[in-house]
Amino acid sequence: MLKIEGLRVKYGADEVVRGVDLAVKKGECVGLVGESGCGKTTVGLSAARLIDARKGKIVSGKILFEGRDILEFDAEGLRKLRGRRISYVFQEPFSSLNPVFTVHEQLKEALREKGKAQEAISEILKSVGLEKISGKKNIYPHELSGGMQQRVMIAMAIASRPDLVILDEPTTALDVSVQNQILELIAELKEKMNLSILFISHDLRIVFSMADRINVMYAGRIVESGPKKDIVSQPRHPYTKGLIGSIPSLKNRKKRFEAIEGKTPLFSDLPKGCKFYPRCKFRIEKCEDEEPAIENISGDHFARCVRAKELV
């Protein structure tokens, strides 16, 4: 369905996505996880060609959607692709809805067929759990709670029955109690509509609950990728291990969960060798000089670490 190959994106002089490969198969939910600022949103935006041209630029790579490279699409081609085939749910629902148009109006624009819009809109609002406002035409975004706004965003994303939905931290801006409801809604819609999903989050716990495959990103690159069960049971990259260790789960509730020490490096000043080197507990001399290539561990499991095979 979606296949990203060797994607590189620059904001000004900083290359914030430094060669990312990623694939989403039909009906699959693929997670993209990593600390804030590692480039997740940039990858997601690139996949829908939504990078603001004034600020950023896709330098190289391929973004194949059903085999065709969308980097070569013209404006009209992109217009037909967006919404209808690939849709997007953004990180902050409030600022992502236009404040001066009604929810109704904004949903209507997302519909593929404009006939019988009224019924279609009520139907969609119901399907995202917004029965309460499905009959009202004059609701503006600011009159809704954060959770409801995100439901509207999701409604807009599925209104045209897309094949792929990119969900960029769909619950980060919401209260914890609302988060779970939204995640359940997404899981339910995925089943019902057979959606393919690229799920972006900094929260590994959420990604574990949603994704079939997981890609771990660090400083603009994928450092580990594999089926969920492999990542959960045998993470190979020290960064992934650190992320898992920092989840306050039942298992390690007693020993205080430990955050990964140190800060993410600046894109303007990346380490020469392995980008995780300064923070890595398992580092050896060799790691400082050369960034390791991504290597196959087993089956569909890959990791970018010289010690991946020995660190079980």
Ligand X SMILES: Nc1ncnc2c1ncn2[C@@H]1O[C@H](COP(=O)(O)OP(=O)(O)OP(=O)(O)O)[C@@H](O)[C@H]1O
What residues make contact with another protein under the rule CB under 8 A? 48, 50, 52, 54, 75, 79-84, 87-88, 90, 92, 95-102, 109-110, 140, 142, 153, 156, 160
Nearest-5° Cα angle at 179, 92 to 150? 40
Q: Cβ of residue 34: shortest distance to ligand SF4, in angstroms?
A: 14
> Which entry of ligand X, ligand SF4, Mg ion, none binds 11, CB below 5 to 8 A by partner kind?
ligand X
Q: Cβ of residue 287: shortest distance to ligand SF4, in angstroms?
A: 3
Token reading at 37: 């600022």
Nearest-5° Cα angle at 197, 265 to 153? 90
74: alpha, beta or left? (left if phi > 0; alpha if psi -120 to 50): beta
For position 280 contacting ligand SF4 by CB under 6 A, the verdict is yes
Q: Cβ of residue 206: shortest distance to Mg ion, in angstroms?
A: 14
Taking CA atoms, 30 is separated from 2, 23, 144, 184, in Å, by: 11, 8, 30, 16
Look-up: residue for tokens 């919401």?
174
Enumerate the H helices of the chain as residue ranges: 40-47, 75-81, 93-96, 103-110, 117-127, 131-134, 146-158, 176-193, 204-210, 228-233, 238-245
For position 40 contacting ligand X by CB under 6 A, the verdict is yes
Contact (CB, 8 A) for 147 and 153: no
For position 18 contacting ligand X by CB under 6 A, the verdict is no
CA distance 36 to 264: 9
The residue among 98 and 249 lying less far from another protein, judged by its C-beta, is 98
CB atoms within 10 A of CB 151: 23
Residues binding Mg ion (CB under 5 A)? 41
Q: Which of 8, 11, 105, 234 binds ligand X (CB under 6 A)?
A: 11
Token reading at 204: 């590994």
CA distance 6 to 137: 45
- Binding-site residue total for ligand SF4 (CB under 6 A)? 13
Q: Which of 2, 22, 42, 90 binds ligand X (CB under 6 A)?
A: 42
8-state DSSP, 70: G
For position 267 contacting ligand X by CB under 6 A, the verdict is yes
The residue among 35 and 109 lying less far from Mg ion, judged by its C-beta, is 35
Q: Cβ of residue 243: shortest distance to ligand SF4, in angstroms?
A: 12
For position 306 contacting ligand SF4 by CB under 6 A, the verdict is yes
> Which entry of another protein, ligand X, Mg ion, none binds 38, CB below 5 to 8 A by partner kind?
ligand X
For position 46 contacting ligand X by CB under 6 A, the verdict is no
For position 238 contacting ligand SF4 by CB under 6 A, the verdict is yes
Site string for ligand X, 196-215 (x = CB under 6 A): ------x-------------
8-state DSSP, 256: P
Q: Cβ of residue 186: shortest distance to Mg ion, in angstroms?
A: 17
Would you tell me which residues interact with ligand X (CB under 6 A)?
11, 16, 34, 36-42, 52, 55-56, 91, 202, 267
